[in-house]
A and B are shown apart, each in its own frame.
Chain A
């Protein structure tokens, strides 16, 4: 029996985009068992939402995540529209679809770049980041922002797709059809990248079902699941979407990291096709049902009930459930279930039989969004009590006074006994 030792990957780690800890028990380089401990980036967004009215919460929901900011916004808005029975003009639905697909390209390109970075393939990482700039430029042209677009609102969208923007999007589609193939070939046909990604972090089809994987993670394991197909929303009702599964393109679905890479790469091409169809079929008409926000707010104040919004975010299915109480300005409660929450439970399964070198790649392979996922914190209650912002400020100042007065917190001997050079 070899001795094992435990090593944390995270919470702050070069290979990870966001703080999460995987405690790996290692026998040499081989992973014996893994325990994933999130909880480093909980921000209490739902709590904040209870002090805000639905329109303010739109902009709060945008800040759940930096990558799928539009998915969360749209999900929240659809939940409110569901409970208040607000109608959305067809043109607005098409524009929402367009932005969703732009965001999908943005997210998948970022992920592909980061996956390359994780295996030390920096050249491909920089290539991916450079290509991502283009889609961010288009989003900036549409909304004025690169990350939090502020596009959607209740009953429509805030920005119209002008002919100039349509032209820019078409040019972007051409750009990606031209420029994306070299990137795909560089990575997927590179012997080192193949060696690093093939048969690593395998999630079998059965395990994907058992652990409720969603989105590209499930599709890479061979499951034909895509909410855009099974429960179409917005313009997806007019534009048929086929789930992309590896067995349609390669011989079989292995459910490894290379399959997840392939699925996301192919989804970029799919998103380009969808965007083209959206632009071709963009109907004329208004893009906002009710421009007067006060009227919208007044109607929402009267609304009562629970609404659901479920969409296919770039990382899997994103679900928001919102409850409003009649006569109250603020959101009563709000539940966010981000795709990472469903996918993260598969991590320990994926870790089995792999090496330490694979760990960051496996964590990244589901495209985790930890800040999306962390919706609640459990403490042991030993430090019960709420510290307000004022308290924190007071404690902070007190500590500075203490330090100046020569009182140091336990164990620290002050600045006088400096370490010898």
Chain B
């Protein structure tokens, strides 16, 4: 009886959370556009412009190109949105609890992030447009490049959590949200953690497809690339997906490296502390997103796919391996 009740409660809370993150992602997108504009000495769009765009696109016709593979073309935006929104079920949003925290871990989150990208690439390939094909090819190339440093970051952190005896399962994100990984290591380990943090910061633009890594959707080169043929509801879904991806990777980074919470400071739980932490979490995500997405995309131009790939495979991977070695030294010498 109680297990069925908990199941329904989880479904209810999960749906509410998904609705909330979609709204928040669009609002953060609006803030992102305003900040981006202000840094370029422009006024920028109104805060709700992404919402207006979505509402308008929802009323528009879906056009399927004649040469497209209709099934995959129509499926891709829905699937991309769903898998991206699902990430939030596994991210501990308040006081170190995720809705489905016991059912999935960091590996699943990485897979869901990757799947969102793959599904969009499939949609691009399915559209039958050569330009979308190039965009999809670039998306896959970029993904293969940044997954390596990302995997190193996550496995190293899990290993540190396991070795240093942080409470909880080593691969669970809840472990990192409840007990700070910064406290688990010494001085050498801190340097290693900074390396991992920077590696993840480099991966963020690649995951979100913004900033110097907006290569698959490069507007002035391949005319929005893999989403070139999408219109109407499909485009609206893809726009929500893009907003959600920025939001999700920022939330992921926040849970891993910025585990500051009131419950952690006070040391006890409680309803009001939980509510405060729930709100405080989004504030943290906001700052992470503004720094690593908005500021990055304002400061740099776009790289070419070869250059971006080399950057990830050589430099960022090197940085993360350095972090891994430093953390290994730290953990093993303690």
Which one, A117, A130, A421, contacts B220 given CB within 8 A? A117
Chain B 20-58, CB-CB to A under 8 Å as 1, else 0, gives 000000000000000000011110000000000000000
Closest Cβ–Cβ distance, residue A395 to chain B (whole Å): 29
Contacts of B300 in A (CB 8 A): 121, 190, 192
Q: Determine if B134 is an interface residue (Cβ-Cβ < 8 Å).
A: yes
Closest Cβ–Cβ distance, residue A17 to chain B (whole Å): 11
Contacts of B303 in A (CB 8 A): 192, 195-196
Q: Is the CB of A357 within 8 A of B301?
A: no
Q: Is the CB of B301 within 8 A of A13?
A: no
- Alpha-carbon distance A23/B303, docked complex (angstroms): 23
Which one, B214, B215, B220, contacts A15 given CB within 8 A? B220
Closest Cβ–Cβ distance, residue B142 to chain A (whole Å): 12
Q: Is the CB of A357 within 8 A of B40?
A: no
Main secondary structure of the interface of A (DSSP, over half): helix
Chain B 120-163, CB-CB to A under 8 Å as 1, else 0, gives 00000000001100100110000000000000000000000000
Residues of chain A from 381 to 421 with CB closer than 8 A to chain B in the complex = 419, 421
Residues of chain B from 59 to 75 with CB closer than 8 A to chain A in the complex = 61-63
Contacts of B131 in A (CB 8 A): 7
Which one, A15, A196, A421, contacts B61 given CB within 8 A? A421
Which one, A192, A195, A357, A419, contacts B218 given CB within 8 A? A357
Chain A 1-16, CB-CB to B under 8 Å as 1, else 0, gives 0000101000001110
Q: Is the CB of A126 within 8 A of B42?
A: yes
Contacts of B299 in A (CB 8 A): 123
Q: Is the CB of A127 within 8 A of B40?
A: yes
**30 cross-chain CB contacts under 8 A:** A14-B220, A14-B223, A28-B137, A116-B301, A120-B212, A120-B302, A121-B300, A121-B301, A123-B39, A123-B40, A123-B298, A126-B40, A127-B40, A127-B41, A130-B41, A190-B300, A190-B301, A192-B301, A192-B303, A195-B303, A195-B307, A196-B302, A196-B304, A355-B305, A356-B221, A357-B218, A357-B302, A358-B304, A360-B221, A421-B232
- Alpha-carbon distance A77/B222, docked complex (angstroms): 42
Q: Is the CB of A192 within 8 A of B212?
A: yes
Q: Determine if B183 is an interface residue (Cβ-Cβ < 8 Å).
A: no
Q: Determine if A119 is an interface residue (Cβ-Cβ < 8 Å).
A: yes
Q: Is the CB of A120 within 8 A of B301?
A: yes
Chain B, residue nearest A117 (CB): B220
Chain A 265-300, CB-CB to B under 8 Å as 1, else 0, gives 000000000000000000000000000000000000
Closest Cβ–Cβ distance, residue B307 to chain A (whole Å): 5
Contacts of B39 in A (CB 8 A): 123
- Alpha-carbon distance A124/B302, docked complex (angstroms): 12
Q: Is the CB of B306 within 8 A of A355?
A: yes
Contacts of A51 in B (CB 8 A): none
Contacts of B62 in A (CB 8 A): 421
- Alpha-carbon distance A116/B298, docked complex (angstroms): 12
Contacts of A359 in B (CB 8 A): 221
Contacts of A360 in B (CB 8 A): 220-221
Q: Determine if B219 is an interface residue (Cβ-Cβ < 8 Å).
A: yes
Given contacts A119-B301, A119-B302, A356-B221, contact A5 B130 (CB under 8 A): yes
Q: Is the CB of A120 within 8 A of B304?
A: no
Closest Cβ–Cβ distance, residue A187 to chain B (whole Å): 9
Given contacts A121-B302, A190-B301, A193-B301, contact A126 B221 (CB under 8 A): no
Contacts of B41 in A (CB 8 A): 126-127, 130
Chain A, residue nearest B40 (CB): A126
- Alpha-carbon distance A193/B306, docked complex (angstroms): 15
Q: Is the CB of B42 within 8 A of A29?
A: no
Contacts A196-B302, A357-B304 known; list 8 others, CB within 8 Å. Answer: A26-B134, A29-B306, A120-B302, A126-B40, A195-B307, A356-B221, A357-B215, A419-B63
Contacts of B212 in A (CB 8 A): 120, 192
Q: Determine if A340 is an interface residue (Cβ-Cβ < 8 Å).
A: no
Chain B 278-304, CB-CB to A under 8 Å as 1, else 0, gives 000000000000000000001111111
Given contacts A123-B39, A127-B41, A419-B63, contact A14 B304 (CB under 8 A): no
Chain B, residue nearest A418 (CB): B61
Q: Determine if A122 is an interface residue (Cβ-Cβ < 8 Å).
A: yes
Contacts of B232 in A (CB 8 A): 421
Residues of chain B from 292 to 331 with CB closer than 8 A to chain A in the complex = 298-307
| 5 nearest A-B residue pairs (beta carbon) | A120-B302, A121-B301, A15-B220, A126-B40, A119-B301
